[in-house]
């Protein structure tokens, strides 16, 4: 399946007209028609515009990314969302900045919220929870969900990020490792108010086999 066919099938599955997509991307309807029919090859810049308008990453249209085959393929395509994979976020010591973490690529997952992202785990402080070095964790935003006992991505002092299990007691919060070689990080409730932010909850795990 070529790029044009992938664009057409995704556009159709979302109920988007070619005229709307042309207006959204500043392209002509005729040029989009040629792309979808395989008569024109879009530039990388044009492909980024089309991908952005259709709500996916440009890699979605790559020949290397499989499109699901099912009796209800269009429904599956409609629900797929591109999830960025950020590289090497520590499960041990904190990382100083999140902004400098490279995007390694994308996963395409159905039925996930907009702000979901994936992290490749560095170090081994969570091996007791079955999370090993090199595994990929899928992180969901925290929408008023109870955190107690959950594995979370936490940001400390507005800059340092780490993967730990969250516990809240009466007077303090603990970020607990799952390996005896690492020490828990403890905050009083007052400290946590200005030093600790929970970025999201780990809900899925892809093993590095």
Domain spans in the chain, listed from the N-terminal domain onward: 3-67, 81-206
Q: In whole angstroms, what is the distance from residue 166 CA to residue 94 CA?
A: 15
Residue in 13, 49, 93, 125 annotated catalytic: 125
Is residue 156's pLDDT more than 90? no
Report field, pTM of the whole predicted structure over 0.85: no
> Rg of the chain's alpha carbons, rounded to an integer?
21
Is residue 99's pLDDT more than 80? no
Is residue 109's pLDDT more than 50? yes
Q: In whole angstroms, what is the distance from residue 104 CA to residue 87 CA?
A: 6
Instruction: Say if 3-67 and 81-206 have the same CATH topology.
Output: no
Residue 44 among the catalytic residues: no
What residues are paired with 165 via a beta bridge? 151, 176
Residue 125 among the catalytic residues: yes
Q: Does domain 3-67 have CATH number 1.10.260.40?
A: yes
Residue in 164, 188, 203, 204 annotated catalytic: 164
CA dist 192 → 92, 108, 153, 198 (Å)? 19, 34, 15, 10
Q: Does domain 81-206 have CATH number 2.10.109.10?
A: yes
């Amino acid at each position: 399946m070529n790029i044009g066919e992938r664009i057409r099938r995704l556009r159709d599955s979302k109920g988007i007209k070619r005229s709307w997509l042309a207006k959204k991307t500043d392209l002509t309807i005729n040029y989009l028609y040629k792309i979808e029919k395989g008569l024109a090859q879009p530039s990388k810049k044009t492909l980024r515009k089309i991908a952005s308008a259709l709500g996916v990453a440009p890699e979605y249209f790559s020949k290397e990314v499989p499109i699901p085959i099912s009796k209800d393929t269009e429904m599956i395509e409609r629900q797929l969302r591109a999830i960025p994979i950020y590289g090497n976020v520590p499960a041990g010591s904190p990382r100083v900045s999140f902004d400098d973490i490279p995007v390694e690529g994308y996963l395409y997952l159905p039925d996930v919220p907009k702000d979901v992202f994936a992290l490749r785990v560095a170090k081994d402080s969570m091996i007791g929870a079955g999370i090993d070095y090199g595994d990929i964790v899928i992180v969901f935003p925290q929408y008023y969900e109870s955190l107690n006992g959950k594995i979370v991505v936490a940001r400390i002092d507005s800059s340092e990020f780490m993967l730990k299990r969250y516990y809240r007691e009466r007077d303090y919060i603990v970020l607990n490792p799952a390996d005896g070689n690492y020490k828990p990080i403890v905050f009083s409730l007052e400290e946590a108010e200005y030093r600790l932010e929970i970025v999201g909850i780990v809900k899925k795990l892809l093993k590095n086999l």
